[in-house]
Amino acid sequence: MNTELARFNMIEQQIRPWDVLDPAVLSLLASVRREDFVPPHHRALAFVDTQVPLLEGDAAGPCMLEPKVEARLLQALQVQRHENVLEVGTGSGFMAALLAHRAQQVTTLECRLPLVQMARENLARNGVANTTVQQVSAAEGAQGLAAEGPFDVILLSGSVAAVPKALLQQLKPGGRLAAVVGELPIMRAQLFTRVGDTAWSQTDLFDTVAPRLEGFDEPSRFSF
């Protein structure tokens, strides 16, 4: 496979047509080696418009999101060089690497030990030094990291039924949180911006579907 041609085609045929037009984001996607964050047994899927399972034998488990979804989320967050970022759901570390190239510091939380190890190795191999991967329980991850906040940016790298208020409260004034929210068959990527002590604005970005993040509450279901 011609890796550089595949990367170019990913950007021009998948990402740019999905309204990702920020030159800084496009340049970053051209320079950060996505293939280095894909498990070896799925390396052929590195530039394909699909979710990539991260744990062998667990196709329904944690995945890398489609390249165009990662790019749209990154573009919406508009991370700046002086900002501190929290990510929940490290996965292979690819989104953390993208965020780290734009931020001052990234802290990323992961509840599965094999993914913690994978992400740390991937980030170190690619020279990403301003990122800390913390292993937490699923329940702890859903509560964020209040002791180290507030944060300029929070990204939930997976879907949730609803964004916990505890996470929204960990944003600085003007801080942004992006997440995929809802239930199958329809989920929606949303951007929340803190506009006051107890107020947040909400913007719908695009419809998509993403694997559930563990530890977050699900809506109650009643049967009669």
Alpha carbon distance 170, 156 (integer Å): 13
pLDDT at 224: 47
Strands 131-135 and 105-110: parallel
Write down the pTM of the prediction: 0.95
pLDDT at 40: 92
pLDDT at 58: 76
- List, in order, residues 6 or more apart from 97 with CB less than 8 Å away: 32, 37, 122, 123, 126, 128, 131
H/E stretch holding 54: none
pLDDT at 61: 80
pLDDT tens digits for the chain (224 residues)?
799 999 999 999 999 999 999 999 999 999 999 999 999 989 999 999 999 999 887 777 899 999 999 999 999 999 999 999 999 999 999 999 999 999 999 999 999 999 999 999 999 999 999 999 999 999 999 999 999 999 999 999 999 999 999 999 999 999 999 999 999 998 999 999 999 888 999 999 999 999 999 999 887 655 44
Alpha carbon distance 204, 178 (integer Å): 10
Q: How far is CA 128 from the centre of its chain?
A: 16
* Structure tokens given for 144: 């964020």
pLDDT at 113: 96
pLDDT at 133: 98
Q: Which CATH number fits domain 63-208: 3.10.180.10, 3.90.1150.10, 3.40.50.150, 3.60.20.10?
A: 3.40.50.150
Domain locations along the chain? 63-208
Alpha carbon distance 39, 164 (integer Å): 31
pLDDT at 221: 58
